[in-house]
Amino acid sequence: MTKTSSIGVLLVNLGTPDAPTAPAVRKYLAEFLHDHRVVDLSRWIWCPILHGIILRVRPPKVAKLYQSIWTDQGSPLLATTRSQAELLQQLFDDKAIDCQVSYAMNYGSPSIADGLASLGNCSRVIVLPLYPQYSSATTASVYDRVAKVIAKQWNMPGIDFVRDYHSHPGYIKALANSVRASWHEKGRGDKLLISFHGIPKRYADNGDVYPDECRETARLLAEELELKADEWLCCFQSRFGREEWLQPYTDETMEKLGKEGISVDVICPGFAADCLETLEEIQVENHDIFKEAGGKHYHYVPCLNAQPDHVGVLFDIVKNKLRLEE
């Protein structure tokens, strides 16, 4: 039965392949890597590289990595986003607030068009990209794609768009609580590595404030945990291609710290849900780099995922948005 609500919330995350197979990964990467917000190169230069090399070589390799993290519920990113939406809906229902929650993926399915269609009876929709730190490559891309869907409609709902929540006090507290829980359960490392997904340095030079927001989140988290300056550092992972990305690079930092023979805790606050970039790249690849270099203990602190305090933060962001516009 379709609910009649006047307010809708659309949670949006990046997207993921439909299956851990080379054809499904190829389809996903083709959509993702054709987005000008993600790769801004001229199509004359980029399309031959993308079609001639990347979409031939990368899918079988990356499909194997997806196989290693795939669950009974499918891709972790999609399964967690679904749970976040269900739990957020429950919070609104429990508080008798008439609000309908749906979710979408910027690339792949369910698409933003599907997500907005599922909120078709709402006169107002709050779009909440699950990227705490703004970037042109992620947040602004969601904005573009929402606008593209609306461009085909005769009628449109009022749209509120959450730009970022990188310094939201509840978000910082939830991250700090996860670190403390890890210290309590597995022991405390000598340093906390706060690793964010990177972007090309050129994008930041052109005006993308993403690195500033990442560094501010890291600083606030360190402050909340009362860490001294030499007890934490901020770094950037998931470099892609040959040009320079934001530095310091996570893998190089892991190697350096491993050589020092210390123990580290690692958290990735830029990811609202565990995904390939955390479950494989951080938990497996970087763990190996650190250990092979001579590092002691390596503890990965999971993403906030569908934890109640995280869903509480999402609830608060939506509530604030509603109050602001009233």
Confirm if 97 and 5 have CB atoms less than 8 A apart.
no
**Token match 């009974």: residue?**
72
3-state secondary structure of 140: helix
Residues contacting ligand L6N33NVT: total by CB under 6 A: 24
**DSSP code at position 265:** E
Say whether residue 164 binds ligand L6N33NVT (CB under 6 A): no
Considering beta carbons, is residue 130 or 176 the nearer one to ligand L6N33NVT? 130
Confirm if 193 and 235 have CB atoms less than 8 A apart.
yes
Backbone angles phi, psi at 249, to 5 degrees: -75, 140
Binds ligand L6N33NVT by CB under 6 A, chosen from 26, 27, 191, 197: 197
Site for ligand L6N33NVT in 56-115 (CB under 6 A): 58, 62, 75, 77
47 binds, among ligand L6N33NVT, Fe ion, none (CB under 5 to 8 A by kind): Fe ion
3-state secondary structure of 14: strand
Report in angstroms how near the CB of residue 1 gets to ligand L6N33NVT at its nearest. 32
Considering beta carbons, is residue 40 or 190 the nearer one to ligand L6N33NVT? 40
Considering beta carbons, is residue 254 or 275 the nearer one to ligand L6N33NVT? 275
Q: In what order do the strands lie in the sheet with 298-301?
A: 232-237, 191-197, 264-267, 298-301
Considering beta carbons, is residue 45 or 47 the nearer one to Fe ion? 47
Spatial distance between the Cα atoms of 177 and 179, rounded to a whole number of angstroms? 5
Confirm if 271 and 278 have CB atoms less than 8 A apart.
yes
Binds ligand L6N33NVT by CB under 6 A, chosen from 5, 9, 10, 16: 16
271 binds, among ligand L6N33NVT, Fe ion, none (CB under 5 to 8 A by kind): ligand L6N33NVT
Confirm if 263 and 189 have CB atoms less than 8 A apart.
yes
- Closest C-alpha to 271, from 177, 121, 166: 166
Catalog residues that contact ligand L6N33NVT under the rule CB under 6 A: 14, 16, 29, 33, 38-39, 58, 62, 75, 77, 131, 135, 137-138, 197, 199, 210, 238, 240, 270-271, 275-277
Point out the annotated binding site for Fe(2+): 197, 277
